[in-house]
Amino acid sequence: MYNEMFADDRSVRGPYEKVAEWINATGVDLLNLRQSEAEAIFRKIGITFAVYGEGADPERLIPFDLIPRVFGAAEWRKLSRGIKQRSRALNAFLYDVYHRGEIMRAGVVPEELVYQNEAFLPEMVGVDPPGKVYSHIVGVDIVRTDGDRFQVLEDNCRTPSGVSYMLENREIMMRMFPQLFQAGIVEAVDSYPSLLKKTLEEVAPIKCDDDPTMVLLTPGSLNSAYYEHSFLADLMGIELVEPQDLFVENGLCWMRTTRGPQRVDVIYRRIDDTYIDPLAFKADSLLGVPGIFDVYRSGGVTLCSAPGAGVADDKAIYVFVPDMIKFYLGEKPILENVQTWRCAEPDHCKYVIDNLKDLVVKRVHGSGGYGMLIGPHATKKEIEAFRAKIRANPSEFIAQPTLDLSTAPILGSEGVEERHVDFRPYCLVGKDIRLTPGGLTRVALKKGSLVVNSSQGGGVKDTWILAE
């Protein structure tokens, strides 16, 4: 197991020197006090997160751990190149999927995985989104399994959330410990909103002949990520709209304002594909803007991300991302995938069924850490139940080895303790590819746990990228 702060001889690793110094100088008692102050600030500002299906408090806080997670400049250089490479390949793949389908013809990706995928939208075939961009914000979930080994756990091509935590966690740290940042050793993350805005501007639709009007489309204040939606809209200075604020007329999209209709050009939507347009997708949906998909197809408005982008972040497609990088970019993948068995393949399935106690099994379309099996931590009964589920519907599942995730220091009940972490950077794709030096570090707060999802008791940390 790779300990990010301490080497095997308990000496502090280079990137963590400053943090270790700070922990020692401040002392655990004062840090604990600051920790509760930080929570009070989060509550006051209203940064909360709702968890589906748990009832109880709809405005829960995600636990925040004070001790930053640190990447050195060299580590980030490699990560950053890998993330951008992956984002380019995923967008190239999406364009190909909705056009000639070369990668399927070449036999690199099996046809049925794409065309029979739930996230594949036949309505998108032949549509040309501005700049050929489908996924404008790519969230790549990365884990570290050794000093120089980073592996991608999954890609998020639709509307990855969590970026507000990257910004707010830093804000809180700077507010509480200004002296930590005075030396200028940590790269700033606060350019993210303006880079996102620039990205959205770059993908204005062809029918837009003026400065594009951009909006952020949210399902509403009951959505779990609502805080983030309002936060980003605010920082970009664009309207935060709900579906009922938008309507379609004369082949264009408009929002209802106090001065009458106003044209909308680019929509950063934080709402699922199927709820965008009841006329095109889900007729019984009360959400959505009737007719907007036709406006999109005819170049009257841009939707970010493009409908149907989810076909690229499916866990069964994930297996082929390194092949996509070779196929479209002619490059060697910089970031590794995690070895993955697709239960749809009979011999893979047999291996998985026989080795469940050592594997992590996930649903192909699942997300948020729900409905997965972590073999080494599961009871016999749970394993048997999963075995039956896989047998009944093998193509629904993939399996991966239990990864030896790296650990980072947290402030626990017994002082500084070690917990497993992952990392999600947010790569922006417009005419250019932009990556803010930072991201969201999620941490499994339960001792020994490998599940970092906030819906399953995970917390978050500030993430430092050290300046060169």
Partner 1 sequence: MLSRTAENLFWMGRYMERADATARLIEMGYRMAMLPGSNEQEEWRSVAAASGSAPELAHPDARNFSASAVVQRLLLDPDNASSIRSCLTSARANGRAIRTALTQDMWEALNDGWRSLGQMDADTALKNLPSLLEWTKHRTAAFRGASEISLLRNDGYYFLRMGGLIERADMTLRLLDVKYYVLLPETDVVGGGRDYHQWTSVLRATSALRAYHHVYKGDYTPWGIADFLILNSAFPRSVAYCYRSISRFLDDLAELYGERGSPQAVASQMVEQLDRTGIEELFQHGLHEFVSQAITTTRRLSFEISKAYHF
Q: Which residues of the chain form contacts with partner 1 (CB under 8 A)?
A: 44-46, 220-221, 226-227, 230-231, 233-234, 239-242, 244-245, 255-260
Q: Which value, to the nearest 10 degrees, does the dihedral of the CA atoms of residues 394, 397, 402, 404 take? A: 150
Strand partners of residue 241 = 217
**Residues 324 and 103: beta-carbon distance below 8 Å:** yes
Closer to partner 1 by Cβ: residue 60 or 363: 60
Q: Which residues, at least 6 apart from 381, have a Cβ–Cβ distance to it below 8 Å?
A: none
* Residue 226 or 327 with smaller CB distance to partner 1: 226
Task: Give the Cβ contact number of residue 58 at 10 Å.
Answer: 12
In the complex, what is the shortest distance from the CB of residue 457 to partner 1, in angstroms, rounded to a whole number? 23
Instruction: Considering the complex, state which of residue 239 and residue 404 has its C-beta at the smaller distance from partner 1.
Output: 239
- The tokens for 277 are 């347009």
Structure tokens at 279: 């006329």
Helices 28-45 and 163-176, packing angle to 10 deg:
130
Q: Which of 241/398 has CB closer to partner 1?
A: 241
Instruction: Output 10 or 44, the one with its CB closest to partner 1.
Output: 44
CA distance 145 to 2: 6
Strand order in the sheet with 266-269: 239-241, 214-217, 266-269, 302-304
Q: Mapping DSSP to helix (H, G, I), strand (E, B) and coil, where does residue 167 land?
A: helix
Please, which residue, 227 or 318, has the CB nearer to partner 1? Answer: 227
Q: Which is nearer to partner 1, 116 or 257 (CB)?
A: 257
Q: How far is the CB of 49 from partner 1 (least distance, A)?
A: 14
Q: Are 366 and 313 in contact (CB under 8 A)?
A: no
> What DSSP line would sit under 387-456, residue for residue?
HHHHHH-GGGEEEEEPP---EEEEEETTEEEEEEEEEE-EEEESSSEEE-S--EEEEE-STT-----GGG
Which amino acid is located at 290 in the chain? P
Calculate helix-pair angle for 192-202, 163-176, nearest 10 degrees: 150
Residue that is written with structure tokens 């193509």 in the block: 395
CB 304 within 8 A of CB 320: no
- Decide: 361 and 398 in contact? Cβ < 8 Å: yes
Nearest distance, CB of residue 64 and partner 1, angstroms = 18
Smallest separation, CB 273 to partner 1 (Å): 24
Least distance CB 216 / partner 1 (angstroms): 9
Residue whose CB is less far from partner 1, 87 or 218: 218
Nearest-approach distance from CB 300 to partner 1, in angstroms? 20
Nearest-approach distance from CB 409 to partner 1, in angstroms: 32
Least distance to partner 1 from the beta carbon of 191, Å? 20
Q: Give the DSSP H or E segment for 337.
A: strand 336-337
Nearer to partner 1, 259 or 381 (CB): 259
For the bound state, the minimum distance from the C-beta of residue 160 to partner 1, rounded and expressed in Å, comes to 21
Q: Least distance (Å) from partner 1 to the CB of residue 223? A: 11
Q: Which is nearer to partner 1, 64 or 120 (CB)?
A: 64
